[in-house]
Amino acid sequence: MNDAYLNFVNSPFGARLAGSLGLPKPEVLRRYHADRPEFEGLVAVGAGPQPRILDALAGMIARTGMTGVAHESAGLWIALAHRHGLMTGRFEPVERGSTQGRMSALLFDATGIEDVTQFDSLYAFFHDALRSLGKCGRIVVFGRPPQGCANPRQWTAQRALEGFTRSLGKEARRGITSNLIYVAPGAEALAETTVRFLLSPRSAYVSGLAVHIDTVTRALPDFDWKRPLAGRRALVTGAARGIGASIAGVLAAEGAHVIGVDIPSAKDALDHTMRELNGTPLAFDIAAPETPAQLAAALDENGIDIIVHNAGITKDKTIAKMTETAWHSVIDINLAAQERIDDALLEAGTLRHGGRIIGVSSISGIAGNPGQSNYATSKAGVIGRVQGMASLLGERQITINAVAPGFIETQMTAKIPFAIREAGRRMNSMSQGGQPVDVAQTIAWLAHPGSAGVTGQVVRVCGQSLIGA
Ligand SMILES: NC(=O)c1ccc[n+]([C@@H]2O[C@H](COP(=O)([O-])OP(=O)(O)OC[C@H]3O[C@@H](n4cnc5c(N)ncnc54)[C@H](O)[C@@H]3O)[C@@H](O)[C@H]2O)c1
């Protein structure tokens, strides 16, 4: 859907008018395009005491082709960068008002911070560097998972990084995202897909995230960074239109064979979407009792590597006015059908070892929403499934995660009354709604064979919405 205000304030006349009236000016977000460089420009690197991820990070930055420049807090960086064959230099702040030499990203290694008296370099780095970050720039802070810390002081300091990182996202504006990666000791090399995702334009609408990277027991399979899902088969429900069609498109572009499911009445749209992607359409109602067995039978011969539970509906009414049918159908389609399908595919061994399950939740499931008790229950349940199943599935090296979109421009949100729709669109750090592709790219990161260390997590795709934050 079209955001007329965003288009207007980014026109020459609209920009002047918005400037003189002091109106907010949402940035046109830089998104991924296959024909434009994904990574480019300068990355400024800062660090606290005893940084533990700088070495792995130097290798990752070298592989993206970006140039890393060292802030004075990261004295080690220059030597590490040379070791990884990475172009480097010293960080120089950019003059106020100048667009020359602006940073594409600011990275800070806080993994070695052991108590709250050690925040000085965190302050100094961002105090010195934030103004030098360009439009749609990236902030990534690295910490250690608080739950794994040796003592309460370290836990306190590491947990404090969440408030810091989220505040920077709210302050920075200009399409800049700010995220935190908690890397477990020994999982440094497993952070690469996440670092790339958060540096890339693919994560345009993901900000305020605190993601955990865990160690895994099995070596990662080989993959090609350009087509990481080549040879993999992905089932996407609700694939005929909206976010589901975009998920199917992005997974196919990453090399997956997509099997798209949607209700029989959406068969024509589903066939069309799948034809464009060389995918396979399956016109099934996911809520029908026979569907799980039929899906297991249809997928049995070749198995499946990725399941994306995207199909969902809303039937909004306050609880006193809600019919029993509206209550049941939303919970059944949005939640119980996922349980039945996963049970059938796991029992039959159709979802292979090393597989991925991704559920589409919603920030309504995190915050609750008036008139959406059925929907919010179902979407909070999606989060519960992820948290409850992660360790069980870990035995088969299968990861399970949820994405929680905020306001995304689709036919579903086009139905929302104007005033509520405008509020939903603007109440986030990007002052705009997200696009279906923002959810799809986030799912592709979680589906990536290199994302084995990310499981049991909920990733908000909401431009750092104020709702539920
Ligand atoms: N649009 C948003 O802002 C937003 C925000 C948060 C979460 N979500 C979630 O994202 C998902 C996709 O949303 P969307 O905006 O693209 O919605 P949409 O209505 O445009 O698309 C949903 C698709 O699911 C299909 N579907 C519905 N019931 C089905 C069933 N029983 N069996 C098979 N397919 C079925 C529909 O036919 C449709 O193609 C949903 O789970 C939704 O709850 C959307």
Q: Is 219 domain-assigned?
A: no
| 193 and 311 housed in the same domain | no
The residue from 5, 182, 205, 375 that is catalytic is 375
Spacing, Cα 334 to ligand 1 middle (Å)? 9
Same domain, 263 and 406: yes
> What distance in angstroms lies between residue 462's CA and the mean position of ligand 1's atoms?
16
Q: What is the pLDDT of residues 41-74, one digit of tens each?
A: 999 999 999 999 999 999 999 999 999 999 999 9
What residue's CA is closest to ligand 1, atom 1? 408
Q: Is residue 26 part of a domain?
A: no
Secondary structure of residue 43 in the 3-state scheme = strand
The answer, yes or no, to whether any atom of ligand 1 lies below 6 A from the CB of 433, is: no
Q: Is residue 20 part of a domain?
A: no
**Which H/E stretch holds residue 176?**
none
pLDDT given at position 422:
87
- pLDDT at position 329 is 98
Q: What is the pLDDT of residue 10?
A: 78
The answer, yes or no, to whether any atom of ligand 1 lies below 6 A from the CB of 161, is no
Of 156, 181, 213, which residue is a domain's last?
213
Is 152 a domain residue? yes
Q: Which of 237, 290, 309, 412 to mutate to test the pocket of ligand 1 (most atoms within 8 A of CB)?
A: 412
The whole-model pTM stands at: 0.96
- Identify whether residues 114 and 246 lie together within a single domain: no
Question: Quick one: 173 and 289 in the same domain?
Answer: no
Give a yes or no: residue 13 inside a domain. no
Q: Are strands 280-283 and 257-262 parallel, antiparallel or unpaired?
A: parallel
**CB of 412 closer than 6 angstroms to any ligand 1 atom:** yes
Same domain, 285 and 364: yes
Q: How far apart are alpha carbons 160 and 156 in whole angstroms?
A: 6
337-342's contacts with Cβ under 8 Å and 24+ in sequence apart are 337/286, 337/287, 337/291, 337/311, 338/286, 338/309, 338/382, 338/385, 339/385, 340/291, 340/292, 341/237, 341/286, 341/291, 341/292, 341/295, 341/307, 341/309, 342/307, 342/389
> Which protein residue has the closest C-alpha to ligand 1 atom 43?
312
Domain boundary among 180, 213, 246: 213
402 lines ligand 1 (CB under 6 A): no
Residues 57 and 193 placed together within one structural domain of the fold: yes
Rounded to the nearest whole angstrom, what is the distance from the C-alpha of residue 340 to the centroid of ligand 1?
A: 18
Q: Kindly report the protein residue whose alpha carbon is nearest to atom 3 of ligand 1.
A: 408
Nearest to 402 by CA among 366, 443, 435: 443
pLDDT reported for residue 96: 79
Percent of the chain with pLDDT over 70: 97
The edge-to-edge listing of strands for the beta sheet with 88-90 is: 88-90, 67-70, 42-47, 103-109, 133-143, 177-183, 210-213
Nearest-CA residue for atom 12 of ligand 1:
243
Does a structural domain hold residue 223? no
Residue 178 lies in a domain: yes
Same domain, 447 and 298: yes
Q: Which residues pair with 68 in a beta bridge?
A: 43, 88
Question: Quick one: 264 and 321 in the same domain?
Answer: yes
Q: Which of 246, 162, 239, 176 is nearest to 205 (CA)?
A: 176
Q: Could you tell me the distance, in angstroms and rounded to a whole number, from the CA of residue 414 to the centre of ligand 1?
A: 13
Query: Over the stretch 218-230, which tens digit does the pLDDT of each residue have?
Result: 889 999 999 999 9
On whether both 248 and 195 belong to a single domain, the answer is no
In a domain, 177, yes or no: yes
427 burial via Cβ count (<10 Å: 0-12, 13-18, 19+): middle
CB-ligand 1 contact for 263 (6 Å cutoff): yes
- When divided into structural domains, the chain yields a total of 2
**Ligand 1 pocket, 282 CB below 6 A?**
no
Smallest CA separation from ligand 1 atom 23, residue: 238
Q: Which of 89, 156, 78 is nearest to 117 (CA)?
A: 156
Mutate to test the pocket of ligand 1, among 308, 310, 332, 443 (most ligand atoms within 8 A of CB): 310
Q: Dihedrals φ, ψ of 406, to 5°?
A: -95, -125
DSSP one-letter code for 448: S
Q: In CATH, what number is assigned to the domain containing residue 153?
A: 3.40.50.720
Residues 343 and 385 in one domain: yes
Query: Are 182 and 242 in the same domain?
Result: no
Asked if residue 427 and residue 299 are part of one domain, the reply reads yes
The verdict on the CB of residue 117 being under 6 Å from ligand 1 is no
d(CA 141, CA 46): 9
In the residue annotation, 123 being an active-site residue is answered as no
Give the distance (Å) from ligand 1 centre to CA of residue 314.
8
Give the residue ranges of the chain where pLDDT is below 70.
1, 15-23
Q: Which atom of ligand 1 is nearest to the CA of 360?
A: 41
User: How many whole angstroms from 238 Cα to the centroid of ligand 1?
Assistant: 6
CA distance 56 to 58: 6
Contacts of 126 (CB under 8 A, 6+ apart): 46, 106, 108, 139, 168
Q: Kindly state if the Cβ of 366 falls inside 6 Å of ligand 1.
A: no
Task: Tell me the residue range of the domain where 323 lies.
Answer: 233-461
Query: Looking at residue 423, what is its pLDDT?
Result: 84
What is the model's pLDDT at position 17? Answer: 64
Pick from 124, 159, 142, 156: nearest CA to 50: 142
Q: Is 360 in the pocket of ligand 1 (CB under 6 A)?
A: yes
